[in-house]
Chain A
Amino acid sequence: MEVEKVSEETLKEISREMFVVRDTGVKEEGERLLELQIGPAHPGSGHMRILAWVDGDIVVRCDPDIGFVHRTIEKLSENRAYIKTIPLVERPSLLDTTPMTIGYVNAVEKLMGLEVPPRARYLRTILAEITRIASHFYGIGILSIFLGHSTGYMWAFGDREIMIELATMLTGARITYAYVIPGGVRRDMPQNFPDQLEKGLRYIERRLKEWEKIFLMNPVVERRLRDIGILKPEIARIYGVTGPNLRASGVDFDVRMAEPYEAYDEIDFMIPVAEEGDAYARGLVRFKEIEQSISIIRQALKKIPDGEIISPQISRLFNPLMKKIYSESRRVKLPSLMATLKPPKGEAVARVEAGRGEALFHIVSDGSPNPYRFRFVTPSFRNVILFKYLIPGHRIADIPAIYGSLDYFPPEADR
């Protein structure tokens, strides 16, 4: 495909349409409706356009216009080897990359029938929970920006750095780890990692108490969020809403519990549920999930067994140099055979609970080095429908509060 240059006339025409509030002249029940185009350039995470038809100050109809970050990951993966698709899967949701890679790698492992050693499963779980905490802090920070609560943004991103620093210790990268590979993980944890992790968790626990004072009990936050965007459980079920947004509506669905993957079936944890279903409950559930994640990490650290971090099916392909590196520094160099990994014909489905909800991976393999078809459904894409059905009936000023509380991340939804 040739990359098309945008002509001047098109730009002018679009600029007229895009940023101007225009009167559509639509008359419904004697009232005049205004078409209001919110975005795509607006403060927040990533970009989408919300078309709202307003009657006075009340939104009557709402239509999300997404696709500003559509990078055609499903198409690209059809031309890329299985291993090279792992970084591709990370990019849509750069906040919680590990659950996404776990899901994809699980699907590949199901295709190939690889067994993952227990230590690798625990390491995956620990990293997934670290990124979950980071992802929830990011969501809270963005919600704070939407509410004009600058302190919330500064605190959330400051606290997020602790978790990112811990993940850097484990993997060597800030946010794009590509840590999970078919059959295991790339590195073992460093000697001082458990101590540092415990230190970080204690800090986060202490901060959560302060967060309660500055955010959850803040009267401004409460008034902006309480009784806004109420999502009833039966509606949430029908629209297939997922993640903390679903659990804030009183449905205790979590893939970690429903279909345990990695080490989650050996760990005790609770699913925080709120009954109200409003924007405030969605924020609250995220805080409660951070507490649960801390407990999961502690248990995983306590239970983590010694042993291999890569499946013997992979490690027997190592050449002598790789074996030396692996035995000395516990780091996995992928054998060249992995580059042209050819899983047998078949189909595999895997799903994981990412920070924002359930992610679904479906791989169709035809026995070639590239996936024949890779279907990748992200939680944000499933939550897009809420913009259409949750916002109508609210005032324009409530749109940012609802948007922020949904923790919607456009690159993730558009893929």
Chain B
Amino acid sequence: MQPTQSSSVISKDSDLEMLLHILENKLQNIIIRLYPDKSGRAIYIEVSPDKIKDLALKLLELGFEHVKSVTGVDYPSENSIEVLIHVGSYLRTLRKYIVIIKTRLDRNNPRISTLTDVWPSSEFHEREAWEMFGIYFEGHPDLRRLLLPEDFEGVWPLRKDFHIRTRKPGEVEPPWK
């Protein structure tokens, strides 16, 4: 599921190139790979789950001081859940970029270290990711349900094996009747 990238399409400006250069130098031992998207405003960073805290600390040093979103993408065929963390900054030089951290977890036991001690803003997002995907954030101060009712039963609702009703083609009557 990688973005189709060819260097001619990516609109690289000098700022982006400098940022990519800095990131590559600073993170070279930690990350798996790093690439910008077509618009040149989002930078994807792939990392292994055990290095995520080091990466977070390094990004915080650079000035990415808050998390915009923590969520997952379920890939049942590959038996893995991808954690997506959107990181941003309010600094003038960095505010136009979003860094998207991607890491793959085992689908049967998705555990990852919490980032609330690095980025306190990820607290509620991690709670949501926990109830929607079952991603367990080790060390989270208050990991419990956020949006769903207290007595919600069943599998994690945003995983692909949680099916909701769908209307078959040509079906007029709603299926609950």
Contact = CB atoms under 8 A, between A and B. Distances in A.
Any A–B CB pair closer than 8 Å: yes
Interface string A213-242: 000000000000000000000000111100
A358 B1 contact: no
Contacts of A70: 147-148
Contacts of B3: 346-347
B143 interface: no
Q: How many interface residues does chain A have, given as a range?
A: 35 or more
A74 B2 CA distance: 21
A253 interface: yes
Nearest to B74: A373
A26 B158 CA distance: 37
A110 B38 contact: yes
Contact of A237 (B4, B65, B124, B154): B65
Contact of A75 (B38, B88, B149, B164): B164
Interface residues of B, number: 47
A271 to B, nearest CB: 12
Interface in A330-366: 344-349, 351, 358, 360, 362, 364, 366
B39 A351 contact: no
Interface string B30-68: 000000011101101000000000000000000001111
Interface stretch (A137-145, A285-293, A375-383): A375-383
Contacts of A377: 68-69, 86, 125
Interface string B130-147: 001000000000000111
A168 B166 CA distance: 33
Contact residues of A: prevailing secondary structure? mixed
A363 B65 CA distance: 24
A74 B137 CA distance: 21
Contacts of B96: 258-259
Given A1-B165, A66-B146, A240-B66, 9 more contacts: A3-B176, A76-B164, A110-B39, A239-B66, A345-B1, A349-B98, A375-B69, A375-B71, A381-B124
Interface of B: 1-4, 37-39, 41-42, 44, 65-69, 71, 73-74, 84, 86, 88, 90, 95-96, 98, 100, 119-121, 123-125, 132, 145-149, 151, 154, 157-158, 162, 164-166, 176
20 contacts: A1-B164, A66-B147, A67-B146, A72-B157, A75-B158, A75-B164, A79-B166, A240-B66, A240-B67, A258-B95, A259-B95, A259-B96, A344-B4, A348-B37, A349-B42, A358-B68, A360-B98, A364-B73, A377-B86, A384-B124
